Structure 1
Amino acid sequence: MADALPMPADPLRSDWDVVVLGGGAAGLAAALFAALDGARTLLIERSEHVGGTSALSAGTVWIPNTRHGDASGNADSPEQALAFLDAAVGNRAPRAIRQAFLEAGPEAIRRLEEQTVVRFRARPFHPDYLYELEGSVSGGRALEALPFDGGALGRALRKLRPPIPEFTLLGGMMVDRDDIGHLMNLTKSRTSFGHVARILSGYAVDRLRHGRGARLVMGNALVGRLLRAALDAGVTVATETEVTDIAGDGAARTVTAKRGGREVQLTASGGVILASGGFARHPQRRAEFLPDPLPEYSPAAPGNTGALHDIALALGARYGEGAEQPVFWAPVSRRKRRDGSMAVFPHFVLDRSKPGIISVGRDGRRFVNESLSYHQFVAAMYAANRDGSTIPAFEICDADALRKYGLGMVHPGGRGLVPFLADGYLVRADTLAELAGLLEIDAAGLAETVERMNGFAETGEDTDFQRGTNVYQRANGDPKHGPNPTLGPIRTAPFYAIRLWPGDIGAAIGLETDTDARVLGPDGAPLDGLYACGNDMHSVMGGVYPAPGINLGPAIAFAYLAARHAAARRS
């Protein structure tokens, strides 16, 4: 694997068919597809690691009507999937773009699996988030990469972005939803005991051999497989390389790049594909597009600076319009690590929907159905944030819920709480009134809220926010708890709380493109030889989050379309 830009004396080494800018899942997929089509392909990554935010994510890829979906037992069709997206997205993004996505997605998955080491499986039960809409399904559309032995990457494993530390165990052992289930049943099942023993022993060996966990799951598995496949296909990967300019009139694009103080010009006869992760860390765009108060911290990868957007806009590109939300959201909790860095923990499904856990504002009252998707949850935080009343919000539970489900970075079991209490991440009190005082929220409002929730727990019906009323919401509860798997009493002292803040996990606003992922200019015509995919491309979902994996699914589909078109243009 190339760790740096090739800068030989022979100028031919600076000629490429396709140059891809960005090393997340979108960029790796685009480079891979271009190479599979016979293009001499260079992938440039600004940071030290490839993988981007994709490597930090759950790695879910939402693509309806693949062979995996067909085998999952869930009835689906292209017409049903389109009806679902029509209902969810409406006119917030062009219908032709989502049609192109639904057509290209299964083709992209099939080609990956037939020609590379990339392998997926479908969860038979992984519901669409907006399950109440026409065309939704309870499973089959959400794919995940099979676990991957990172040792197959050799030295390139060093270049793979490691997962968020707080999502690992023992200082770096990655676990997925299957592993979590086995860990919870460790002392109750021989099968679970054996599974945990195997991954623990494997992790110990990996630390000695590679210096990190090499059993890759979730987003690391997806990126690891794409990286191995790209290298096998002949893609040259250049990390720690900054692109400072893109020029050319479309016949061929010229990329100016810099690494270690040296500058080189590269030609791309087929085109340049932007896949740098979006504008999320661009200070000007962030202030322009995001609501007030601006999220202070994000769990996204640090390389999403939006610098390439400035270059594309100077070439005549334009941003898409009409998105419901400018970014995709997740509530996050924050805690300073020992090294002084900030841990930003996204609250996806592990705690918010569990029985005995609620979220309130400063008035002590709920403002949202806690079982909604993480994106909808933060949108509700902003909608209700009068005079700072719900930013931050407060996630509250009792001792029983903490022990069963954990709370943010606090793992289930109720042990090891001292450091979390000492630094204030976790707040504990013997009474609800005392807890309200420590949080500086309204004690009477909190007491009334808890009393109402305890009543809802008995009846199974949340008459305030209808929590747990559809398949998706109930799926994130506790299936062993009834009558409603998301509603439980809050009675057992001590009581606990953490603070939740808005966090952006990916840009929804991006560069406007056509159905081949070609970037469009001010007159609506394509800027020849310039493409965008992933979060650099205006979201096919129009800032709506209808299902799990709606970032990565379109990223791979439009990487496929962009690469196919660019490879066909090469001279």
Structure 2
Amino acid sequence: MSASHNKQIYDVVIVGSGAGAMSAAVFAADKGQSVLVVEKTDKYGGTSALSGGGIWLPNNHYFRNKGGKDSHELAMQYLQHSTGGRVESERLKAYLDNAPEMIRYLEENSRVSYAVAEKYPDYYQHLEGALPGGRTLDPELFDTSVLGDEVENQRKASPSTLLMGKIAWTARDAHKAMARESGWRWMLIKLMLRYKFDFKQRKKTRRDKRAGLGGSLVAALRQSMRDRNIPLWLNTDFTDFVMENDKVAGIRVTTQQGEQTIYARKGVIMGSGGFEQNQMLRDKYLAKPSRKEWSATPPNANTGAALVAGQKLGAATDLLDWCWWAPTISVPREDKARGVFAERAFPGAIVVDGNGQRFFNEAAPYLEFGDAMYRNHQASGGKSIPAWVIFDASFRFNYAMGPLMPGQIMPDSRLPKDWHNNLYWKADSLDELASSINISASGLKDTVAKMNHFAQTGVDEDFDRGGNVFDRYYGDRNVKPNPCLAPINKGPFYAMRMDAGDIGSKGGLLTDEYARVIGESGSPIKGLYAIGNCSASVMGTSYPGAGATLGPAMTFGYIAANHIASQASEADTSEQHQSVA
């Protein structure tokens, strides 16, 4: 970054550099606005770069082109059921109207490239309007060599989103491998050989030249910004808004050169993430216990600056007691916790509380699972945070769990020594295992006996695990009669600690159908827009499908950019009329 930024006035200033913020920058630039993007940390990409990169877009043309059947009406029915009246219908309608347009525009005018994950089901299969697949789009791999040295400034993907912690793949590839669909072994061999034989890249770095998932989306958006010469300032920390004539006229930031004021002629778009990395705000708003260290988001990045500054302006807020919950596992020497998304559905692992009892369907969506951890924690007298994932030697050999790759490729002898009794616990009997992690041995043995019976009959009589198409998405299709259930009977037995983590906070500044921040008076705060996790989610307390965080962030970025441009053109027209008069 240069020693000083001489241009301090832009049409649109965007705070944050995740998928929503960078999409908004592309849309605003294409509407003829001068745009600046500022990022607090020394890396661009935010939580988006660590994510699966999927976007949940009902009624998209990718699915239609493959003969899929969806409609605005069906999607609205599903969203109204899943959000349960917590979200204004105007905002839901704005999302459903604009999301298909947004992705078509990006496909035709940027480097972003998606394909439909047609087997990825909506999360709430019991609700009217849910589909068994077709609404989640998965990024294609992106060749980052076009970025040159700029790729070094991108936040690195989480090891949990890479094959063997280093090889890029798509969510469709990952599903094929985890569900052990036909051809999965050959696919993995091809991916590994492609990585290994990229000699030019291997000489330089272990990092895969190709990016997948969230890394692909972020790299494609960054290159789309570069194509438009949109400046991105790193190490630029937003501190407050500049108000002039009852309008947000810019922002104050702290850079390595000191404090600066940047003016925005037409609008400020906040895309700066939630507040989950701010322990004081967690303590103030979220259920207890709650630790920022349990979050799977970038440490020190999402500290709620937009929320605090917005509240000073009198902005209304909503959903502040909610996160995008996801159970997490903390790995020694890693700077953030890892979300546990797919592995809970694999057959032969269960999650229990301190009483040794299951409390929820392990294969359920991660938001609901995290919420269940809190609800059971209250009901069980503080016994399910942390919870414990339990599995046996057969599971250990065949499947991954967090950073533990299947034992057939990563036996215990190859695991770091300090992981034992720290990341995982191991014992020859269930009694001994329960004792080592301080949970009820009799409770655990009863639970395992019951689960072994369920595995035989194929029916989980307690929580119906594997009873719907979403549960079975990550189940092992070769396991009968239920791909999510297998016995736990072969020692040694294993346990891993699972915390009540998150992939971002869900509540924030309340916005309207144009992404404008609403004041407590009910009127929009002029010149201020918010998208992504610094705004109260359009999904309410629900998580309708994979990509229901990024899809709205990018769509409301599109809506905000279009609204700013339309307001600007109306103002220009009005000025012309006045000068003629």
TM-score using structure 2 length: 0.91
Residue 305 of structure 2 is aligned to residue 307 of structure 1: yes
Residue 288 of structure 2 is aligned to residue 292 of structure 1: yes
2:266 alignment counterpart: 270
Q: Give CA deviations for 1:197-222 in whole Å, capped at 9, x if unaligned.
A: 112223x5324346732210000001
1:85-484 equivalence runs, <5 A: 85-168=79-162, 172-180=166-174, 181=176, 192-202=188-198, 204-209=199-204, 212-248=207-243, 249=245, 253-297=249-293, 298-302=295-299, 303-321=301-319, 326-337=322-333, 341-349=334-342, 351-385=343-377, 386-414=380-408, 415-417=410-412, 418-419=415-416, 421-422=419-420, 424-484=422-482
State the AA in 2 paired with 1:222.
L
- Tell me the SS of whatever aligns to 2:499: strand
State the AA in 2 paired with 1:44.
V
Rounded Cα–Cα distance in structure 1 between residues aligned with 2:31 and 2:229? 11
Comparing 62-71 and 241-250, the one that deviates more: 241-250
1:51-70 equivalence runs, <5 A: 51-70=45-64
RMSD (Å) for aligned C-alpha atoms? 2.2
Comparing 147-156 and 166-175, the one that deviates more: 166-175
Structure 1: state its 5+ residue gaps. none
CA distance 1:502–1:96, shift in 2 (3 Å):
same
Aligned-pair CA distance for 1:71: 2.5
CA distance 1:354–1:21, shift in 2 (3 Å):
same
The 8 Å contact of residues 73 and 140 in structure 1, kept in 2 or not, is answered as no
Q: Give CA deviations for 1:127-150 in whole Å, capped at 9, x if unaligned.
A: 011111000011111012111011
- Tell me the SS of whatever aligns to 2:97: helix
Aligned-pair CA distance for 1:490: 0.7
2:37 alignment counterpart: 43
Q: Give CA deviations for 1:324-370 in whole Å, capped at 9, x if unaligned.
A: x6111100111221xxx544111001x21111111111111111111
- Tell me the SS of whatever aligns to 1:528: strand
2:545 alignment counterpart: 547
- Tell me the SS of whatever aligns to 2:75: helix
- Tell me the SS of whatever aligns to 1:394: strand
Q: Give CA deviations for 1:370-415 in whole Å, capped at 9, x if unaligned.
A: 1111111111111111332111111011111111112221001343
Aligned-pair CA distance for 1:264: 2.6
Comparing 188-197 and 440-449, the one that deviates more: 188-197
Rounded Cα–Cα distance in structure 2 between residues aligned with 1:353 and 1:82? 28
State the AA in 2 paired with 1:212.
R
Rounded Cα–Cα distance in structure 2 between residues aligned with 1:60 and 1:187? 23
State the AA in 2 paired with 1:216.
A
State the AA in 2 paired with 1:265.
T
Rounded Cα–Cα distance in structure 1 between residues aligned with 2:52 and 2:372? 23
Aligned-pair CA distance for 1:308: 2.5
1:513 alignment counterpart: 511
2:18 alignment counterpart: 24
State the AA in 2 paired with 1:301.
P
- Tell me the SS of whatever aligns to 1:48: coil
CA distance 1:115–1:428, shift in 2 (3 Å):
same
State the AA in 1 paired with 2:562.
R
The 8 Å contact of residues 167 and 192 in structure 2, kept in 1 or not, is answered as no
The 8 Å contact of residues 270 and 568 in structure 1, kept in 2 or not, is answered as no
The 8 Å contact of residues 241 and 248 in structure 2, kept in 1 or not, is answered as no
The 8 Å contact of residues 297 and 336 in structure 2, kept in 1 or not, is answered as no
1:66-81 equivalence runs, <5 A: 66-81=60-75
CA distance 1:63–1:4, shift in 2 (3 Å):
farther
Structure 2: state its 5+ residue gaps. 573-581
The 8 Å contact of residues 23 and 52 in structure 1, kept in 2 or not, is answered as yes
State the AA in 2 paired with 1:419.
P
Rounded Cα–Cα distance in structure 2 between residues aligned with 1:285 and 1:36? 37
State the AA in 2 paired with 1:408.
G
CA distance 1:283–1:394, shift in 2 (3 Å):
closer
Rounded Cα–Cα distance in structure 2 between residues aligned with 1:316 and 1:554? 24
Rounded Cα–Cα distance in structure 2 between residues aligned with 1:20 and 1:136? 34
Aligned-pair CA distance for 1:283: 3.2
Residue 554 of structure 2 is aligned to residue 561 of structure 1: no
Aligned-pair CA distance for 1:263: 2.8
- Tell me the SS of whatever aligns to 1:505: strand
Aligned-pair CA distance for 1:113: 0.8
The 8 Å contact of residues 129 and 547 in structure 1, kept in 2 or not, is answered as yes
The count of corresponding residues between Structure 1 and Structure 2 is 558
Q: Give CA deviations for 1:139-190 in whole Å, capped at 9, x if unaligned.
A: 1110121110111112211111001234445664334445555697999865
Q: Give CA deviations for 1:244-295 in whole Å, capped at 9, x if unaligned.
A: 2211236661222221133332211110000000122233321122101113
CA distance 1:477–1:187, shift in 2 (3 Å):
closer
CA distance 1:38–1:521, shift in 2 (3 Å):
same
Percent of residue pairs bearing the same amino acid type: 36
CA distance 1:167–1:125, shift in 2 (3 Å):
closer
Q: Give CA deviations for 1:396-451 in whole Å, capped at 9, x if unaligned.
A: 11111111112221001343424265352111111111111111111111111111
TM-score using structure 1 length: 0.93
- Tell me the SS of whatever aligns to 1:384: helix
Rounded Cα–Cα distance in structure 1 between residues aligned with 2:411 and 2:351? 23
CA distance 1:362–1:164, shift in 2 (3 Å):
same
Aligned-pair CA distance for 1:476: 2.0
Rounded Cα–Cα distance in structure 2 between residues aligned with 1:235 and 1:509? 29
CA distance 1:19–1:296, shift in 2 (3 Å):
closer
The 8 Å contact of residues 120 and 143 in structure 1, kept in 2 or not, is answered as yes
- Tell me the SS of whatever aligns to 1:244: strand
- Tell me the SS of whatever aligns to 2:327: strand
Rounded Cα–Cα distance in structure 2 between residues aligned with 1:561 and 1:387? 46
Aligned-pair CA distance for 1:5: 8.0
Rounded Cα–Cα distance in structure 2 between residues aligned with 1:512 and 1:462? 40
